[in-house]
């Protein structure tokens, strides 16, 4: 297994993306267990990811209001012409 392929998959895993075909999480972990270079690479990628993540989500960031399925329906009903209630 090529380290470059493993790293591509590791990067995808970090981003929450699907692993490349033919690669599984177990395979990645197996490779990491036996490849110090990739372990280091993974650690660095994680650190970078964490740093970027905290930069993108500043403290005090307010989560979007929880809109249930009802709110989208109400919006659609408002946008749709005709059929007035009453
Ligand atoms: Zn490797």
In a domain, 35, yes or no: yes
69 C-alpha vs ligand 1 centroid, how far in Å? 46
Q: Sorting pLDDT into bands at 50, 70 and 90, what band is 52?
A: confident
CA 24 – CA 21 distance, rounded (Å):
8
8: Cβ contacts below 8 Å, ≥ 6 apart: 20
Q: Domain for residue 19, yes or no?
A: yes
Whether 13 maps to a domain, the answer reads yes
Domain count within the chain: 1
Q: Taking residues 10-37, what's their average pLDDT? A: 94
Per-residue DSSP letters for 38-73?
HHHHHHHHHHHHHHHHHHHS-TTPPPPP---HHHHH
In a domain, 70, yes or no: no
Judge whether 2 lies within some domain.
yes
* Ligand 1 centroid distance, CA of 34 (Å): 8
- Is 81 within the bounds of a domain? no
The neighbourhood of ligand 1, an ion, using CB within 5 A, equals: 3, 35, 38
| 78 falls within a domain | no
**pLDDT interval class at 65 (50, 70, 90):** low
Range of the domain at 24: 1-54
| Higher pLDDT, residue 26 or 60 | 26
């Amino acid at each position: 297994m090529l380290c470059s392929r493993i790293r591509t998959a590791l990067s995808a895993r970090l981003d929450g993306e699907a692993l490349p075909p033919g690669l599984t999480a177990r395979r990645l972990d197996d490779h990491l267990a036996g490849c110090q270079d990739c372990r280091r690479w993974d650690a660095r990628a994680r650190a970078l990811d964490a740093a970027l993540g905290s930069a993108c989500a500043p403290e005090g960031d307010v989560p979007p209001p929880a809109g249930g399925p009802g709110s989208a329906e109400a919006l659609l009903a408002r946008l749709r012409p005709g059929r007035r209630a009453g």
